[in-house]
Chains A and B, each alone.
Chain A
């Protein structure tokens, strides 16, 4: 490291971090910025737990007969990995950390509409997470994160109820967060900040919040019905007494498909911010990108049946879901093209956030295109239930969403903490993550096409080579994630003090000091310009 490891003198200004000290001032805060940090801590912890499960799985899969654990344990590992990563990491990640921190700043407000509700949402998250962790420790659940009936309702001898309670509770955290964002964005924008002057991050958070509001309650009732069936042995999903196991799947996927857009839309919003900032240009096709976020949110509610093409649902239902699944891909394609076009005649620099953003575009493109294989009915039959699916969604959720999350953390870190991290290490980590990620998940496409089913604790020997490749990649990926953990923590004490706008970027959040004061703005800003107003827009042109 180039900086000497001596403590830098503390900034004497009062800001949200040093305005008060002590555990109580954090646990009873209503400041959206502190709540964002509370979430950051809990989410990082859950990511590590889910990550450990993944490491154990990949070690186990080095051998066709399984190298590490019994099948029952393996089944619990992949279930824990999925449940924790989906519900306790990916769904809250960007909205609850970056969203909570930035939404008031980006709209020019002092806080969110309901600060106490915001704190409550964090506590709800923690309670839900504790239930789930308790379940994992007390033996785990072995149903997969999808909890299909009748296995989960009748046959599984594992901690289904505690996990179900944990997920049920945490759903309310999402609902409250989404509610807060919607009201804030509608009612608390600064004067002059019209809808089409908003940063694209806000557009995507808004679209995500709509999905939070409309989708999560359906998951809640689904899990509730599952719990009732398991506890009281009544036959809601049990065919022996007239119930329909597929009803569970319809209800489950009605939420869980939009949920995957909850996981990617905020990442797309972050990428818009990063591309604009690091090419010093307004996002090409701003209006189209904004509308695309909306289109994705709405169409996402209409495609859930593509998870059920081989379940025996009617062929006609399959056709409808297939058409809609193709349609939902179009707005994402529009975004990718617009981001790429933004680079044209820009002034591009390659700090770590930009590397993550560019990595996102590449990997999301690949992941999204492999979705076409699955929207296509005939190929989906062959690929459903195989590692192709696993590779597809990891390309989007890890290659996409997690990369965007990392990029956003790196971009706004100076604003959040007032410190800079060492950029060289950050770039190295970004490249390691990119390489490790591809090594881990590309071989899984091959495995899927060959027919290796997913959720297999043991497998036929001819699949071993690709499995070993994947596990080797996973070790590289793991190292890539640990490096930022180290330098981020280091930076909080030893990093150089950051100016208000270290990147020279546009946006209301960069007009306040780093870190911001508790009330964000000394006076409510009045907005007179378009977003990303790097170059003034000539008369008669639209951005």
Chain B
């Protein structure tokens, strides 16, 4: 029994050049060294993002089924959306991913002020996205009676099939709501990170929370990159069905 394991030294400091001090105050007790901690945090977030892919995936799969069955109705619904807002929001989110990536870079190079500014910018862009969506798009949709379950009103001049157009809007609202919820959570995360960054928590040796939240933020951005064409650009804007 005694020879099952050889007993070695506790922390494997030899492999980790970053851990010149083997007990960094940021090292959590379950980990042996900072590299292991960083890699574990990263892998954890990637695994979580895999779950998110499957979560949105179920939604996208259902959307795909109905779109392939009822393309004309979905086209009509898509043309009733304002593509200008959608496109603006896409640009806003892409910029926010840029500022997020730059914020992480700032942490890697030890620039505290830049970190804070860039994180705040990211939050502002995220808030702008939500602002445009809620106060312009959704308010308009509500006023034009396009919200299923509330007071969806089919207008015959649209052509096509009323229930199918409504089905489009059901998916539009569910998909963008869940995406918006993820944005809100992301902004919450960012506010915590901004506070931590302002207090100098992050350094070239330890910026795992930023890295991991950056992954999350980029993921939410990518989901929107898929949502935008699927929802706003069905059937093209010029030619079939006419422009907006």
Report A's interface with B, CB cutoff 8 A. 104, 108-115, 175, 178-180, 182-184, 186-188, 190-191, 213-218, 220-222, 225, 228, 231-236, 240-244, 247, 251, 254, 501, 506, 508, 511, 519, 523-529, 533
A100 and B42 alpha carbons, distance in the complex (Å): 21
A495 and B10 alpha carbons, distance in the complex (Å): 35
* Interchain CB contact under 8 A, B40 and A232: no
Return the chain B residue nearest A507 by Cβ: B4
Q: Is B140 an interface residue (CB 8 A)?
A: no
15 A–B contacts from the bound complex (CB under 8 Å):
A188-B40, A213-B47, A213-B50, A218-B54, A225-B174, A228-B149, A232-B150, A234-B166, A236-B167, A241-B163, A242-B163, A244-B69, A511-B1, A523-B10, A528-B3
* Interchain CB contact under 8 A, B47 and A182: yes
A179-B47 contact in complex given A235-B167, A236-B62, A242-B70, C-beta closer than 8 Å:
yes
Query: Which B62-99 residues have C-beta < 8 A from chain A?
Result: 62, 65-66, 69-70, 73
Tell me how far the C-beta of B31 lies from the nearest C-beta in chain A, rounded to whole angstroms. Answer: 8
Tell me how far the C-beta of A269 lies from the nearest C-beta in chain B, rounded to whole angstroms. Answer: 20
A220-B47 contact in complex given A188-B36, A523-B7, A523-B9, C-beta closer than 8 Å:
no
A272 and B131 alpha carbons, distance in the complex (Å): 56
A501 and B43 alpha carbons, distance in the complex (Å): 34
Return the chain A residue nearest B12 by Cβ: A191
A301 and B226 alpha carbons, distance in the complex (Å): 24
Tell me how far the C-beta of A460 lies from the nearest C-beta in chain B, rounded to whole angstroms. Answer: 40
* Interchain CB contact under 8 A, A523 and B8: yes
With a cutoff of 8 Å between Cβ atoms, the chain A residues found around residue B6 in the complex are: 525-526, 528
Query: Which B170-204 residues have C-beta < 8 A from chain A?
Result: 170, 174
* Interchain CB contact under 8 A, B47 and A183: yes
Taken residue by residue from 1 to 19, chain B's Cβ proximity to chain A (1 for < 8 Å, 0 otherwise) reads as: 1011111111110000000
Taken residue by residue from 156 to 169, chain B's Cβ proximity to chain A (1 for < 8 Å, 0 otherwise) reads as: 00000101101100
Within 8 Å by CB of A524, from B10, B164, B166, lies B10
A241 and B12 alpha carbons, distance in the complex (Å): 63
Known: A113-B44, A218-B57, A524-B8. 6 other contacts (CB 8 A): A179-B48, A190-B5, A241-B163, A242-B66, A244-B69, A524-B11
Return the chain A residue nearest B29 by Cβ: A110
A243 and B73 alpha carbons, distance in the complex (Å): 13
A220 and B54 alpha carbons, distance in the complex (Å): 10
A511 and B170 alpha carbons, distance in the complex (Å): 58
Within 8 Å by CB of B51, from A175, A511, A526, lies A175
* Interchain CB contact under 8 A, B7 and A187: no
* Interchain CB contact under 8 A, B10 and A187: no
* Interchain CB contact under 8 A, A217 and B166: no
A524-B4 contact in complex given A113-B44, A218-B55, A244-B65, C-beta closer than 8 Å:
no
Q: Which 6 pairs across A and B sit closest by C-beta, in order of nearness?
A: A232-B149, A217-B55, A221-B58, A525-B5, A111-B30, A241-B163
Return the chain A residue nearest B167 by Cβ: A242
With a cutoff of 8 Å between Cβ atoms, the chain B residues found around residue A234 in the complex are: 148-149, 166, 170
Q: Is B61 an interface residue (CB 8 A)?
A: yes
* Interchain CB contact under 8 A, B5 and A526: yes
With a cutoff of 8 Å between Cβ atoms, the chain A residues found around residue B163 in the complex are: 235, 240-242
Return the chain A residue nearest B177 by Cβ: A228
Q: Is B205 an interface residue (CB 8 A)?
A: no
Tell me how far the C-beta of B192 lies from the nearest C-beta in chain A, rounded to whole angstroms. Answer: 15
Q: Is B39 an interface residue (CB 8 A)?
A: yes
Residue among A213, A234, A506, A525 facing the most chain B CB atoms (10 A cut-off): A234
* Interchain CB contact under 8 A, B40 and A113: yes
A235 and B73 alpha carbons, distance in the complex (Å): 14
A213 and B50 alpha carbons, distance in the complex (Å): 7
A139 and B142 alpha carbons, distance in the complex (Å): 36
Within 8 Å by CB of B44, from A183, A231, A501, A526, lies A183
Return the chain A residue nearest B35 by Cβ: A187
With a cutoff of 8 Å between Cβ atoms, the chain B residues found around residue A225 in the complex are: 59, 62, 174
Q: Is B52 an interface residue (CB 8 A)?
A: yes
With a cutoff of 8 Å between Cβ atoms, the chain B residues found around residue A528 in the complex are: 3, 5-6
A214-B54 contact in complex given A234-B148, A243-B167, C-beta closer than 8 Å:
yes
Return the chain B residue nearest A193 by Cβ: B5
* Interchain CB contact under 8 A, A216 and B51: yes
Q: Is B32 an interface residue (CB 8 A)?
A: yes
* Interchain CB contact under 8 A, A191 and B48: no
A251 and B57 alpha carbons, distance in the complex (Å): 11
A506-B47 contact in complex given A183-B40, A214-B54, A234-B148, C-beta closer than 8 Å:
no
Tell me how far the C-beta of A432 lies from the nearest C-beta in chain B, rounded to whole angstroms. Answer: 35
With a cutoff of 8 Å between Cβ atoms, the chain B residues found around residue A178 in the complex are: 47
A220 and B7 alpha carbons, distance in the complex (Å): 45
A378 and B12 alpha carbons, distance in the complex (Å): 60
With a cutoff of 8 Å between Cβ atoms, the chain A residues found around residue B161 in the complex are: 242
Within 8 Å by CB of B43, from A186, A214, A247, A527, lies A186
Return the chain A residue nearest B30 by Cβ: A111
Tell me how far the C-beta of B150 lies from the nearest C-beta in chain A, rounded to whole angstroms. Answer: 8
A523 and B54 alpha carbons, distance in the complex (Å): 40
* Interchain CB contact under 8 A, B51 and A213: yes
With a cutoff of 8 Å between Cβ atoms, the chain B residues found around residue A180 in the complex are: 44
A529 and B36 alpha carbons, distance in the complex (Å): 23
With a cutoff of 8 Å between Cβ atoms, the chain A residues found around residue B39 in the complex are: 187
With a cutoff of 8 Å between Cβ atoms, the chain A residues found around residue B29 in the complex are: 110-111, 519
Return the chain A residue nearest B32 by Cβ: A524
A52 and B55 alpha carbons, distance in the complex (Å): 34
A221 and B171 alpha carbons, distance in the complex (Å): 12
Within 8 Å by CB of A232, from B4, B9, B59, B148, lies B148
Tell me how far the C-beta of A112 lies from the nearest C-beta in chain B, rounded to whole angstroms. Answer: 7
Query: Which B127-156 residues have C-beta < 8 A from chain A?
Result: 148-150
* Interchain CB contact under 8 A, A115 and B70: no
Return the chain A residue nearest B162 by Cβ: A241
Return the chain A residue nearest B10 by Cβ: A523
With a cutoff of 8 Å between Cβ atoms, the chain A residues found around residue B70 in the complex are: 242
